[in-house]
Structure 1
């Protein structure tokens, strides 16, 4: 089993990133061979500040390592350091079809009404995503609900390429359900919206670098309702903010939502929020300290990424060569 996944180096990771993806990645390291990359090529599909991007790659690498990604267990690298990614993506653009890409819901969402003004890269983004996975013959890809369509596209591209060129080169990857449960963390100001860096309100999210006092303050001010907590998660239906905070507590402590409610059944948020703050701080404080240490050693971070890229280049090379040969560009 080989697992491949990437994350865009946008800087300022928040609790939603940690509970929704990164801690799941950490658990995966003990279940499969894992390659994790900083998707800096994908970052070019929208307006980007070149001066900020390089720093964000280091920052994201530091955050992943601080959170538990172990370079001794997993291959960690920057996508742009492995030319096989964009090279294979170009080859696969001859296999992918406009109709397939037009159906991508993320393209529709991100381009909005200004499709004519969106970059070509944003439109073909899923083809590069397919190359990211297929170049390593990944068997499984951990994805959220919003990315399942892209894995289906990667499977379609793999099958069509193999059929078109009468080869058995690409593995059609499966969505990966290992690594335990990933929490869907919502905004602290709106239980119907995901926690996001793009939200204009700083109070909507908890950054991995927030101080203990700031974490406690944000959770104390998190939007809730006046009702006490029930004893059954089903009774949180129609209470999105309450469900969100209970879900965060469950993810932070490793409990089930039902177990959390058993502890706090009948109590209000005046009692629940301080306990949630304590649990969140206990999780994030050591990560923050490690992140600060790593930030102060950019040479070490660059060395880890370089070693990871060297291994990734070696793993990708045979697949890329065979793809070139299949289409008639190599002997």
Structure 2
């Protein structure tokens, strides 16, 4: 049983289906014979929000892997084209950078299957099968298609009518991604929690319709770090699409670049103390949250550590030191992997072959259950 002191369950979820990690996973936190799956969109090099909010737990899982545990990590490149990518050379580079980023944070391809989603055809096959049992009303409640299509008025028939089908059905493909491997655990950021709820709903609908307990309802693993916000505007999350590139820290940023961006980060006029107050002091709170995530410490412990600082310069210098040290190894490895494109291609090709074997075996059973 998972220790309550290490996980906080969401009482609204059935089957204790959401768990938040407490700083770092331990071997006893992952049940035997687990299948752990997660993808990230290939938007290029990871930034700090990607790292702390989602993918660093992949490294923890990789380090803890047992012989009977399956790990599958990679890029959600089919999801990425829900926002069209007419610059195909840039898209290919982003996919390559995403794989280099995955390896640079310490994912060992001998312990985890690393691949591009588009390399495994069964993802889209299961997407269609599951779309036939997914209600439109469930998809209509999803927030992703509304935010990505920049809808300001849901009563605007023309604007809603212009939304692309792929963007609207995105959550069904995500459910197919997860259920294709009969995944038991899915580490994601807070913004994906709603999609995992739908995945469990679709799995249960399939099991009920065909009177078979085929799909296990996957558990969502949420990282302990709160959402990392823009360094320039704390009303927004950190995002690569931000036109102000000083608003985010990339994993491959050089120390002088990190220092410059942190110096420019918004804070406030209070300098005699630095406390975590996301309402009244969102800029300072965001930097404290960054330290907490990097050092795997509670907010309270970080506040104790920074109590000695009485100027913004000293506080920001400390944040810079923490980040430069944390990102040193990923930065060096990323640069190394980007000089080895053939190696990256070999990794994803081998990973896709392994993923396809699992996927095809499960698809065969799924289609038999459905009468094909």
Q: Same fold (TM over 0.5)?
A: yes
The answer to whether 1:64 aligns with 2:102 is: yes
SS in 2 for 1:96: coil
Which structure 2 residue ranges, 5 or more long, are not aligned? 1-33, 152-158
Q: Residues 224 and 241 of structure 1 are in contact (CA less than 8 Å); yes or no, is this contact kept in structure 2? A: yes
Of residues 59, 72, 89, the one that matches 1:51 is 89
Q: TM-score, structure 2 length as denominator?
A: 0.83
* Separation in 1, partners of 2:193, 2:262: 31
The residue correspondences of 1:1-331 to structure 2 (distance < 5 A) are 1-29=34-62, 30=64, 33-48=70-85, 49-113=87-151, 114-177=159-222, 181-228=224-271, 230=273, 233=276, 237-265=279-307, 267-329=310-372
| 1:148-175 superposed Cα distances (whole Å, 9 cap, x missing partner) | 2111111111111122222232222121
Q: Residues 53 and 227 of structure 2 are in contact (CA less than 8 Å); yes or no, is this contact kept in structure 1? A: yes
SS in 2 for 1:118: coil
* Separation in 2, partners of 1:289, 1:229: 37
1:268 to partner: Cα distance:
2.4
SS in 1 for 2:237: coil
* Separation in 2, partners of 1:156, 1:112: 27
SS in 2 for 1:5: strand
SS in 1 for 2:74: strand
SS in 2 for 1:37: strand
Q: Residues 24 and 182 of structure 1 are in contact (CA less than 8 Å); yes or no, is this contact kept in structure 2? A: no
* Separation in 1, partners of 2:202, 2:221: 19
1:252 to partner: Cα distance:
2.1
* Separation in 2, partners of 1:41, 1:296: 25
1:85 to partner: Cα distance:
0.5
* Separation in 2, partners of 1:246, 1:16: 14
SS in 1 for 2:72: strand
Q: 1:276 to 1:119 in 2, by over 3 A?
A: same
Q: 1:255 to 1:324 in 2, by over 3 A?
A: same
1:267 to partner: Cα distance:
1.8
SS in 2 for 1:45: coil
1:54 to partner: Cα distance:
2.0
Q: 1:140 to 1:229 in 2, by over 3 A?
A: farther
More helix by share: 1
* Separation in 2, partners of 1:78, 1:232: 42
Partner of 2:3: none
| Pairs aligned (count) | 326
SS in 2 for 1:141: strand
| 1:289-328 superposed Cα distances (whole Å, 9 cap, x missing partner) | 1111100111111111111111111111121112222222
* Separation in 1, partners of 2:207, 2:295: 45
1:237 to partner: Cα distance:
4.3
Q: Root-mean-square deviation (CA), in Å?
A: 1.7
Mean CA deviation greater in 127-136 or 261-270 = 261-270
Q: Residues 275 and 285 of structure 2 are in contact (CA less than 8 Å); yes or no, is this contact kept in structure 1? A: no
Mean CA deviation greater in 257-266 or 119-128 = 257-266
| 1:2-41 superposed Cα distances (whole Å, 9 cap, x missing partner) | 1111101111321111111121221122155321121111
Which structure 1 residue ranges, 5 or more long, are not aligned? none
* Separation in 2, partners of 1:141, 1:101: 20
1:110 to partner: Cα distance:
1.8
Q: Residues 187 and 194 of structure 1 are in contact (CA less than 8 Å); yes or no, is this contact kept in structure 2? A: yes
